[in-house]
Structure 1
Amino acid sequence: MSTATTTETTSGEELAPVSTESLAELLIAKERPPRPSALSASVTFGWRAMLKIKHVPEQLFDVTAFPIMMVVMYTYLFGGALAGSPSEYIQYLLPGILVMSIVMITMYTGVAVNTDIDKGVFDRFRTLPIWRPSVMVGYLLGDMLRYFLGSLVILAVGLALGYRPDGGVAGVVAGIALLIGFSFGLSWVWTMLGLMLRTEKSVMGVAMMVMMPLTFLSDIFVKPETMPGWLQAFVNNNPVTHVASAVRTFMDGGWPGTELAWSLGWAGVLIAVFGPITMRLYNRK
């Protein structure tokens, strides 16, 4: 038995009755839209991450004001003591500060994931007929834009303070590309933590506890040769040291064969290990 309803317009005119069968036929008659590809879905979620920056521009504080403060402070605070003058020290410091600033802001990927979980957004994402990892990949693609913007800001400040890369444009581009690639791999660690931990403050706390030793116990500020032997053993095997040395060599016009291999190897290991763990947690969340 069919049911029908009759609607009236504001002027009192009656419209033709609509039955449930005719409505169902109307909805089923048209073909369903094709399922988006993995690339299309990932790019869409990446665009969503960039739109969040557009609506909340304060999110760019950590890739604009913070890097400027770091470059200026460390150049004039340690330049005279460590290299004789700030202009000499910035030639060594700037690639290291570039690496330090970008790898530190990778933790915000996990914070964004945790925030969306807390708001219930992920419940909606899981009902969509899309490639399941596209949500996670989208977060990382959006953050890669933040890494790129942060790199440009730091480089511009360095040039204003007297930094001159002997490697030219090619060396700078190669160094930034390597840094963004490593940061992409590192972001998977914080994405996993964003799924595991209950609050965004917990994600920030754990990330800072890990990143502070890795960034400060590296060759970002001083050469490892000036350190005690026991500390050199840690610094020389620190992944941040490998990345900073490779970026510095690229910008100086050299070819960091060994350091490049270590940096890419670390990035590959991070993706291979934490990528599957993150997706398993996401599927079970």
Structure 2
Amino acid sequence: MSVTTWTTHRGPLAQSASMAARSLASIKHQPAQLIDFVMIPMMILLSITFFMGGQMMGSWQDFLQYAGPSLIAMGLFFAITSTGLSLYGDIKDGVFDRLTAMPVSRFALLAGRVAADMVKHAWALLVVGGVAFAIGYRADGGGLGVAAAAGAVLLFLFASSWAMVLVGLTAKSEEQIQTWMVALLMPLAYTSSIFVEIETLPTAVQWWAEINPLTALGDSMRVFLDGGTPGGEVAALLGWSAAIIAVFVPLSLRAYRRKLTG
């Protein structure tokens, strides 16, 4: 009896692109996926700006100008939970069991999921950013500043998504993934300069707010959008992004190998 041997000469990056395309193809049958990625940042932007912005900075317009873009980034940051949920669902449904029978890089299987979700994040950033401009936000940094700020957001989301990959691989249930979101993501957001200036925070938490990765993200976005000169905040953002990738990519690959052999 002959045995079929599957081989491929495509590298991990090309395989990752194929896995991403496979994931994105499902949008044709489930277009609500795009709405899911837009809803969280849209709700955060509009609800906090209109209902809390005036209390924080005197008028919601001033609050929008200070915090609008970073609110969008925070909403997209919360939406990375979908990466962990989708990955958990694929494993639970046996999708990866079928794919691992083929000569596909283990890295490509995980990176393809992250890459597909990055496309959805970019879509959400475009839509919600357009809403922010429609209700009055203005960027003094012009088109180049907007592009740089968008790049900063997507870089940080890419890095952070790998943390959710690890969560999706190790979680025992979807509820546990959502618990991780509340326990880890929300404290990061609310102890940063996303909403307010660090000087207005209690002294006991200012030290953490200064090194918080979301502070680096929010401050970097403001520098780009205001047309300022990038400095330490951008260096901090790049450092955090590199560190998160360096830690969570190997841990995710290790967790995936254990799941295959466990």
TM-score of the superposed pair, with normalisation by structure 1: 0.86
Q: CA offset at residue 79 of structure 1?
A: 2.7
SS at match of 2:211: coil
Does the 8 Å contact 2:8/2:103 carry over to 1?
A: no
Question: 1:97: which partner in 2?
Answer: 71
Question: 1:264: which partner in 2?
Answer: 238
* Aligned CA distance change for structure 1 residues 228 and 105 (closer, same or farther; 3 Å): same
Shifted more, 34-43 versus 135-144: the winner is 34-43
Work out whether 1:233 is the aligned partner of 2:207. Answer: yes
Question: 2:101: which partner in 1?
Answer: 127
Question: 1:246: which partner in 2?
Answer: 220
Q: Quick one: distance in 1 between partners of 2:169 and 2:10? A: 25
Q: Which stretches of structure 1, 4 residues or longer, exceed 6 Å deviation after superposition?
A: none
Corresponding residue to 2:188 among 195, 214, 232: 214
1:92-151 per-residue CA deviation (whole Å, 9 max, x = no partner) reads 011211210111111211111111111111111211112221001100100111111111
Q: Quick one: distance in 1 between partners of 2:6 and 2:100? A: 19
Question: 1:59: which partner in 2?
Answer: 33
Q: Quick one: distance in 1 between partners of 2:159 and 2:24? A: 19
SS at match of 2:106: coil
* Aligned CA distance change for structure 1 residues 54 and 204 (closer, same or farther; 3 Å): farther
Amino acid paired to 1:264 = L
Does the 8 Å contact 1:106/1:187 carry over to 2?
A: yes
Question: 2:17: which partner in 1?
Answer: 43
Q: How does 1:37-186 map to 2 (within 5 A)?
A: 37-186=11-160
Does the 8 Å contact 1:46/1:142 carry over to 2?
A: yes
Does the 8 Å contact 2:69/2:221 carry over to 1?
A: yes
Q: Quick one: distance in 1 between partners of 2:72 and 2:130? A: 11
- Taking only the aligned residue pairs, the percentage that are identical comes to 35
Q: Quick one: distance in 2 between partners of 1:188 and 1:159? A: 30
Q: Quick one: distance in 2 between partners of 1:33 and 1:102? A: 38
Q: Quick one: distance in 2 between partners of 1:273 and 1:150? A: 27
Amino acid paired to 1:187 = S
Question: 1:16: which partner in 2?
Answer: none
Q: Quick one: distance in 2 between partners of 1:32 and 1:196? A: 29
Q: Which structure's CA Rg is the greater one? A: 1
1:216-235 per-residue CA deviation (whole Å, 9 max, x = no partner) reads 11111111111221121121
1:61-103 per-residue CA deviation (whole Å, 9 max, x = no partner) reads 3332332222222122123222222222211011211210111
CA RMSD of aligned residues (A): 1.9
Q: CA offset at residue 256 of structure 1?
A: 2.8
Q: CA offset at residue 33 of structure 1?
A: 6.5
TM-score of the superposed pair, with normalisation by structure 2: 0.93
Q: Quick one: distance in 2 between partners of 1:281 and 1:74? A: 37
SS at match of 2:138: coil
1:172-211 per-residue CA deviation (whole Å, 9 max, x = no partner) reads 1111111111111111111011111121221121122100
Alignment length (residue pairs): 259
Q: Quick one: distance in 1 between partners of 2:8 and 2:32? A: 37
Does the 8 Å contact 1:185/1:270 carry over to 2?
A: yes
Question: 1:204: which partner in 2?
Answer: 178
Q: Quick one: distance in 2 between partners of 1:64 and 1:203? A: 20
Q: Which runs of 5+ in 2 are unaligned?
A: none
Does the 8 Å contact 1:35/1:130 carry over to 2?
A: no
Q: Which runs of 5+ in 1 are unaligned?
A: 1-19
